[in-house]
Amino acid sequence: MNIHAPAKVNLGLRLLRKREDGYHEIETFFHTLAWGDELRIEPSDTLSLTVVPASDAAFPGLLEEVPGDSSNLVWRAADLLMKRFDLPGVSITLTKRTPPGAGLGGGSSDAAATLRCLTDLYRLDISEADLHVMAMELGADVPFLLTGGCALAEGIGERLTPIEPLDDVPVLVILHPFTIPTPWAYRAAGLRDEKEACYQRCLTDEGGIAEVLNCIDLRNDLEDPVIEAYPDITDSLTALRDSGAFFVSLTGSGSAVYGLYTTEDDAAGAARQLGDEGFAVIETVLR
The CATH number assigned to the domain holding 76 equals 3.30.230.10
119-169: per-residue pLDDT in tens?
999 999 999 999 999 999 999 999 999 999 999 999 999 899 999 899 999
195 belongs to the catalytic site: no
Catalytic residue among 37, 110, 141, 266: 141
Least confident of 134-138, 209-213, 220-224, 263-267: 209-213
Q: Which of 147, 162, 177 is at the close of a domain?
A: 162
Catalytic residue among 8, 37, 221, 266: 8
Q: Which of 127, 162, 197 is at the close of a domain?
A: 162
Total number of domains constituting the chain: 2
- CATH number of the domain encompassing residue 216: 3.30.70.890
Model confidence, pTM: 0.93
Residue by residue, DSSP assigns the chain as -EEEEEEEEEEEEEEEEEPTTSPEEEEEEEEEEEEEEEEEEEE-SS-EEEEEE-TT-S-HHHHTTS--STTSHHHHHHHHHHHHHT---EEEEEEE-SPTTSSS-HHHHHHHHHHHHHHHHTT----HHHHHHHHHHH-TTHHHHTT-SEEEEETTTTEEEEE---TT-EEEEEE-SS---HHHHHHHSPPPSS--HHHHHTTT-TTHHHHHTT-TT--BTTHHHHHHH-HHHHHHHHHHHHTT-SEEEE-TT-S-EEEE-SSHHHHHHHHHHHHHTT-EEEEEEB-
18 belongs to the catalytic site: no
